[in-house]
Structure 1
Amino acid sequence: MLARMSSEPEQQIGVGTPDAFQRLWTPHRMAYIQGENKPSGPGAGDGCPFCAIPQKDDEDGLVLARGEHVYAVLNLYPYTGGHCMVVPFRHVADYTELTEAETAELALLTQRAMTALRTASGAQGFNVGMNLGAVAGAGIAAHLHQHIVPRWGGDTNFMPVVGHTRVLPQLLADTRRMLAASWPAEN
C-alpha cells in the first residue's frame, strides 16, 4: 500500500501511527509464515523439503556435511547466523523411531556442527534441540530435525527483543561456505 501524505508534514495515512522508528522489512520470512515448502501430508512423497534437500548439490541445498544416515544443513529461516540442523535421510517423525545408527550419527554430526561453528564464528554457546510434533513447535513435524543454534554474548539485543526482527549479517551461501570449510574431518 502506498503511503499518502496528509496535510500534516510528519504523518502518513494508511501505514500506522508515526512513532519515529525505522522499519526493517524481512519479506523472505513470509514464505515460512505462510507454510511455503511445508509437506502437504505425513509421507515422504508429500513435498517434504528435508527429503528433497539431499537430491540437490551441497551449495544449492545449503548442505554442510553428509553422513551415511543423516546430513547437516543450514536453516533456511535462521534464528541466528550459522543456525543449522542435523536431519536423517530417512523420512521419520519421532526420535523414538530412529535406529541406533541414525541416533549415533545424529549425535556425531551435532558435535561436528558445534565444532565447525566454534572454529568459523567463535560461537560461545549453543541452543541444541528438537521440537517433536506440531504442538511442540515443529515447523515441519513430519520429518525429524535437530537444531543447532550458535549463541554469543549480547546476541539477543534490542532487535529481536523490542523490534521482533532478527538481523543476520551474512548471506546463507556465504555462511554455508564458511562452515563447510571449517567442518571437522572424520576421525
Structure 2
Amino acid sequence: MDRLWATWRMAYITGKHKDTGCVFCNAPKSTKDEEVLILHKGSHCFIIMNLFPYNNGHVMVIPYRHTSDITTLTDEESFEMMKFVRIMTKAIKKSLNPEGFNIGMNIGRPGGAGIADHLHMHIVPRWTGDTNFMPVIGETRVISEHLEATYNKLYTTLQEELKNDKNI
C-alpha cells in the first residue's frame, strides 16, 4: 500500500492554525517573512504563499488595508495588486513551469471566499492532470513539494523578476 504523508495539513483539518484577528492583517506585521510565507512586501500590497494551497506555488496578492469591498480599493492599491499578479505569474512560470493558471478573487462567503473579510487575489498554477480523485473522495489535495522548498524557488525567482522589471 502506498502512503501519502501531508502532516502539515493537520493544523488546517483541526482548526489549530487559526489566529485571533485577521490572518491577512497579522501576516505582514511579522518580522520573519519566510515563517509566514511572505514573498514580497510593496507599498500597498504584499505577496504571500497560501499555507493550505490548492496546488504547488499557490500564492495570493493582498492589500494591506483591511477591506472586503473591491470597489473601495484605491487606484494605487489596484495598480500594485495587478502589477504583483503580473510579476508573480512570471516568477511562477520560470520556477515551476505550469501549463496554465487560475487567477482571480472569490468575494464574499457566497462567492467562495474562505476569508471573506479581507480581499485577496489567488494565483494558482495548473498542470494537465493535476486534479484527481483525492479532493473528491478523500477531501485531500496532494501537494508534491514541501512549502519551504517551493517558497525558496519562488522567492529567488521573484527577486530576479523584481530587479529586472522596468515598471517598478
CA root-mean-square deviation: 2.2
The aligned amino acid for 2:49 is L
Matches within 5 A, 1:73-112: 73-112=48-87
User: Normalization by structure 2: what TM-score?
Assistant: 0.85
Distance 2:13 2:112 in 1: 13
1:118 to 93, 96, 106: 93
After TM superposition, the runs of 4+ consecutive aligned structure 1 residues lying more than 2 A away are 21-39, 157-165
Quote how far apart the aligned CAs of 1:26 are.
Answer: 4.8
Structure 2: gaps spanning 5 or more residues: none
Distance 1:64 1:139 in 2: 21
Quote how far apart the aligned CAs of 1:158 are.
Answer: 3.7
Distance 1:80 1:178 in 2: 15
Is the aligned partner of 1:138 residue 2:118?
no
The aligned amino acid for 1:112 is I
Structure 1: gaps spanning 5 or more residues: 1-20, 40-45
Matched residue, 1:47: 21
Q: Is the 1:130–1:145 Cα contact (8 Å) retained in structure 2? A: yes
Matches within 5 A, 1:137-156: 137-156=112-131
Provide the aligned length of Structure 1 versus Structure 2.
161
The aligned amino acid for 2:128 is G
SS at match of 1:178: helix
Aligned-residue identity in percent: 47
Is the aligned partner of 1:181 residue 2:161?
no
Distance 2:70 2:16 in 1: 25
The aligned amino acid for 2:56 is G
Q: Is the 1:70–1:87 Cα contact (8 Å) retained in structure 2? A: yes
Distance 1:72 1:128, change over 3 A: same
SS at match of 1:58: coil
Quick check: 21-30 or 74-83, which moved more?
A: 21-30
Larger Rg: 1
Distance 2:18 2:137 in 1: 29
The aligned amino acid for 2:109 is A
Q: Is the 1:37–1:47 Cα contact (8 Å) retained in structure 2? A: no
User: Normalization by structure 1: what TM-score?
Assistant: 0.77
Distance 1:152 1:174, change over 3 A: same
Q: Deviations over 1:38-93 (max 9, x none)?
A: 57xxxxxx611111111122211101111110001000110000000000011111
Q: Is the 1:38–1:48 Cα contact (8 Å) retained in structure 2? A: no
Quote how far apart the aligned CAs of 1:33 are.
Answer: 5.0
Quote how far apart the aligned CAs of 1:164 are.
Answer: 3.5
The aligned amino acid for 1:32 is Y
Distance 1:34 1:134 in 2: 21
